[in-house]
A = this chain, B = another copy of it.
Amino acid sequence: KAGTRLAPYSGVPTFLTAPYLQVDNDNPDFGDLQVAMIGVPMDLGVTNRPGSRFGPRALRTIERIGPYNHVLDCAPVQELRVADIGDVPFRSRYRLELSHEDIERRIGQVVDAGVVPLSVGGDHSITHPILKAVGKKRPVGMIHIDAHCDTGGAYDLTKFHHGGPFRNAVLDGVLDPTRVIQIGIRGSAEYLWEFSYESGMTVIHAEEISGMGIPAVIEKAKKIVGDGPTYLSFDIDSLDPAFAPGTGTPEVGGLTTREVLEIVRGLKGLNLVGGDVVEVAPQYDSTTNTAHAGAQVLFEILSLMLFSPFVTGKDA
């Protein structure tokens, strides 16, 4: 009666070992999905090391995440109607702005179908077109865990690089800066991020974390976003490089995985309307620790979806 369990290393790999659902690009049918996990293998927006185009593949091949979330007390892949729907189809692997259009179109299909998108990047520039789809009807708030504010302006002839998605999203009216909190910020580019402060975002720097304590960070985050529609964007470089070496713009002095898990789990009950895990670049990840941490946070965000009124409310 002991039965047999599927070995974690067997089979065609999907995000969190969720079912694989192929969805047509032109006539998409998402069935009754509540959450769609989707890969966004695009890294044309990076300022330094490329490689996160291999991020979705890296997260799919991590074994042994789930099924049960002890802290949040759920088994999200089993309790939600969720699938890995493959990757955003791109018209070109050479065009940053065009790729953003492709992302916006595909995530728009997901959103229009009433499905919540949970994306795996790719570089952080992808969150701009995602937010354009998610926040199309009304601006959303955001929990943003990252080493960088990503609210910089144009340079090198584009504003669509991975250092500026949230400035763009605010200026496009799809992100409400007063409902944005940025956690883990550090590094040598603070002078580029005045927009965060000017637009009314709340910034918690990495160097403040030890002093504040994680419970205070969570409390602050909940207060900022309230119960409105909220997006959760997790950049793996929020973690210290000791925990996540596999990324393009690492910054020493970052968060630990224990801190990140505590923060994310502390957001139980927020009204999440989408989320992402970005910037995993497996070329720099000799231990696969980075992809492992990314997959675990993906699992935690998916778990939060079970407690989001937006996700489960439509079932009621």
Binding site for B on A (CB under 8 A): 2-5, 7-14, 20, 39, 41, 43-45, 47-51, 53-54, 56-57, 60-61, 63-71, 84, 86-87, 89-96, 98, 153-161, 186-191, 205-207, 209-210, 214, 240-243, 245-246, 249-250, 252-254, 256-258, 261-262, 265, 283-289, 292-293, 296, 299
Given A68-B190, A188-B68, A262-B210, the answer on whether A20 and B12 have CB atoms closer than 8 Å is yes
Contact B241 A11 (CB under 8 A): no
Per the bound structure, the CA–CA distance linking A153 and B258 in Å amounts to: 28
Task: Give the number of times this chain occurs in the complex, counting copies.
Answer: 6
Which chain B residue shows the least CB distance to A163?
B5
- Say how far A125's CB is from chain B's closest CB, in angstroms: 10
> Could you say which residues of chain B place their CB within 8 Å of the CB of A49?
9, 51, 54, 283
Decide if the interface of chain A is mainly helix, strand, loop or mixed.
loop
> Could you say which residues of chain B place their CB within 8 Å of the CB of A258?
206-207, 209-210, 240, 253-254
Contact A261 B250 (CB under 8 A): no
Contact A157 B20 (CB under 8 A): no
